């Protein structure tokens, strides 16, 4: 196995930079540094941590264009979406700067003791294994609450965004966080397994595929270590007969095509009741056709190449097999290296890859439903459970459907999205645990019962 990783600009395939993986000795030293730093970091006051969060937001704001450019170069995201990603990280930081102290305050509970309460103590060093599709946002939404709770963090990022991974460590250190509080690991899979086995690491957070989730959960479970898993999604977008297509079509198109379709919470199955099916299809095709393809660094670009050639090849396989089973392509389905043309399929049914699997690219599977109940039944035919979106003008009818959907999120007249104020996570094979909000900062703390008599 090579000890080198190379980053490439997906739009051209040009090499950006080559990096050497860390040696076993370097990894061990990083672990020791994380543990030694934790022993001091956990003693810092909330006032000090909040001050560091303020400076962290400043660092991102002051160098926003540079970091957005790095994201776009390494994984091909349209530049305007990269800017939005940095802005969202700043929003997240500001949210925890304002609310973390309240979230982590001792919770007093009346008992027969003179004093009893829950103390929220940090666990220690937490390992994060993160994906390439939102290379800053995924990391910051883990790191900011985790560090603010008094833990230290290690990051194993996707190889194709190694520059982002190293930049994020530099950002924390530039903001004044002590060296060792947040460290990036350039490590192989075997090395990461040994990191999880190491007693210094107390828990693991993974955002990634179902396959990766199973592998990491198995290792962590063997070591009796907690995990938070945010895995794949196959979100349904239900279009009911009274949906306002004129008002929401831009949102519906964005729900599938943002980040060139490379999002776990993207709408992937469009389940449309038959009364509105033809009109939906007409407007949806118009919306997809209006997307501007181009150089990712061009601020006008809406949709670009995918992050790697192999990812586009996998989407091509899923579409091809679905067509062989009876699906029909009405828009798109051309691939050139890492480019995959925005694609719409109809006549989609359960049993086809584009219905059953997570399609991580700009492909929309459209399914006709006979009724609202049939639409919900189809939406629920999934091994995933990340989120569902419903478009309707009858909000009371939508409320009645909330308990019928098992997913971790239920959005009405809006695309499923993450928000620092709301918990984020899934059910079924989409994983477990929650990120963001109060629930996110509570994932990696010891909820200690204190009883004084």
Catalytic residue numbers, as ranges: 230
CA gap 318, 335 in Å, rounded: 13
Bin 332: left if φ > 0, else alpha if -120 < ψ < 50, else beta. left
CA distances from 152 to 38, 95, 316, 435 (A): 6, 20, 41, 17
> In sequence order, which residues have a C-beta less than 8 Å from that of residue 187 and are 6 or more positions away?
21, 22, 27, 156, 195
* CB of 86 closer than 8 Å to CB of 111: no
Distance CA 254, CA 267 (A): 9
Q: For strand 182-184 and strand 235-239, is the pairing parallel, antiparallel, or unpaired?
A: unpaired
Q: What are phi and psi of 7, to 5 degrees?
A: -100, 145
């Amino acid at each position: 196995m090579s000890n080198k990783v190379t980053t490439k600009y997906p739009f051209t395939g040009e090499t950006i930079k080559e990096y050497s993986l860390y040696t076993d000795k370097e990894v061990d030293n990083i672990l020791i540094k994380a543990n030694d730093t934790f022993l001091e970091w956990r003693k810092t006051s909330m006032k000090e941590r909040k001050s560091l969060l303020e400076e962290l937001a400043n660092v991102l704001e002051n160098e926003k264009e540079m970091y957005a450019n790095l994201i776009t170069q390494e994984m091909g995201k349209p530049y305007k979406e990269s800017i939005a990603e940095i802005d969202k990280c700043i929003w997240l930081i500001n949210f925890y700067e304002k609310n973390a102290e309240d979230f982590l305050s001792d919770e007093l509970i009346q008992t027969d003791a003179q004093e009893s309460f829950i103390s929220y103590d940090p666990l220690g060093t937490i390992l994060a294994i993160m994906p390439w599709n939102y290379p800053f946002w995924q990391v910051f939404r883990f790191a900011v609450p985790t560090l603010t709770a008094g833990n230290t963090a290690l990051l194993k990022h996707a190889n194709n965004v190694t520059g982002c991974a190293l930049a994020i460590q530099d950002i924390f250190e530039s903001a004044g966080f002590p060296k060792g509080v947040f460290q990036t690991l350039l490590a192989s899979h075997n090395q990461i397994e040994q990191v999880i086995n190491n007693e210094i690491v107390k828990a693991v957070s993974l955002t990634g595929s179902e396959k990766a989730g199973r592998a990491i959960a198995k290792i962590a479970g063997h070591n009796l270590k907690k995990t938070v898993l945010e895995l794949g999604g196959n979100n349904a977008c239900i279009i009911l007969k009274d949906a306002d297509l004129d008002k929401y079509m831009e949102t519906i198109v964005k729900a599938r095509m943002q980040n060139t379709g490379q999002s776990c919470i993207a709408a992937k199955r469009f389940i449309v009741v038959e009364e509105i099916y033809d009109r939906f299809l007409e407007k949806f095709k118009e919306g997809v056709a209006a997307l501007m393809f181009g150089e990712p660094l061009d601020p006008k670009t809406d949709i670009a190449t995918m992050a790697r050639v192999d990812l586009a090849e996998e989407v091509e396989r899923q579409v091809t097999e679905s067509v062989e089973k009876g699906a029909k392509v009405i828009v798109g389905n051309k691939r050139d290296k890492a480019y995959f043309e925005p694609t719409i399929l109809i006549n989609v049914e359960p049993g086809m890859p584009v219905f059953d699997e997570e399609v991580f690219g700009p492909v929309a599977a459209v399914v006709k439903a006979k009724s609202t109940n049939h639409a919900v039944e189809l939406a629920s035919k999934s091994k995933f459970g990340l989120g569902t979106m419903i478009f309707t003008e009858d909000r009371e009818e939508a409320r009645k459907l909330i308990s019928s959907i098992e997913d971790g999120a239920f959005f009405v007249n809006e695309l499923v999205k993450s928000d620092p104020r709301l918990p984020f996570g899934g059910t079924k094979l989409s994983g477990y645990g929650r990120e963001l909000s109060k629930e996110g900062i509570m994932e990696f703390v010891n909820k200690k019962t204190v009883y004084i008599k």
